[in-house]
Structure 1
Amino acid sequence: MSVNWFECKVKYRKTHDTGEQKITTDTYLLDAVSYTEAEARINEEMKAYTSEEFRIMNIKVANFTEVHPFENCDRWFKSKVSLISLDEESGKEKKSNIYLLVQANDVKEAFEHTNKALEDTTGDYTIPSITESPILDVFPYFTGEEEQLEKFNVIEKAETEVQED
């Protein structure tokens, strides 16, 4: 199933580390099936994120094929990946571009994380560019089933450990 990612720009009053409040516009990424759902979801996420008034300035479809979060990373990078295939009729190499959003602390780490995300790729590829993204946070769709499955796996693992003792 294909995921539709939407970039949402939200303007709100933000309290900075210094305690000073400034009006800022931040970009968030979320998955949704339509603009209407994206608007509803960003409203819900922002209500949980800030008690201040906020305004949705823009919602647009993002061109990310995949999103790869990594632990202990605080920035998001857009990796352009050129998949290389051979055109059997002409015998020439053909490149098709996809974009990945990877979490990292710097460009070098983003390059490493992009390669890690593509390690199961069977074809050849190159990474022509990596740029820091303005995206502050990513809100993937979460049904609650994932949490139930995780609890089940933890219980199953605990039962297995008890049986082994």
Structure 2
Amino acid sequence: MSAARIDGKELLYQDGQVLIVHTATATKGHIQIYPKKDVVSVDELDEGNVQHMMFCANYCSAVLFELLGAHGTNIVLTEGDGLHLDVFERIQDDGIDLQWKPKTIDQGEMTSIGSQIKDKILIGVDEPVSEVKVKEKPPEEITVPEEENYLLKQLDKIP
């Protein structure tokens, strides 16, 4: 993790896997979580590092709920120049718009693209699906000799 990446940001926490900084650029509780390894894609991290980053993001969300009275949080994974997680606190009617405007394409092009995708998705094609028949056996009756039955023995005990 390069020190240049956290210039101008307040370091909140660090351990062997992550750095957590407060940036306050998008909202007053905007937190960024960086892996210690310099990577540009989540595919470059092992499962343990990704899990730890998500745990930290969840923990930061809980802190924002309690400290700032947030109504919700957004956790955004940013890849590219440097992989990091952004955690934003959200308050009702805060004016932050994370929606994107979908592109419109004509119906013919959409059908063509859909067909191409369908042709490439081969989930379960090579493996025939077969029904598994389960034979049910009647439950076996278990008999316990009377002298070994703890349920009956407890009735003989004097309180």
Q: Structure 2-normalised TM-score?
A: 0.24
Q: Which has the higher contact order (CA 8 A, sep 6+)?
A: 1
Q: Structure 1-normalised TM-score?
A: 0.23
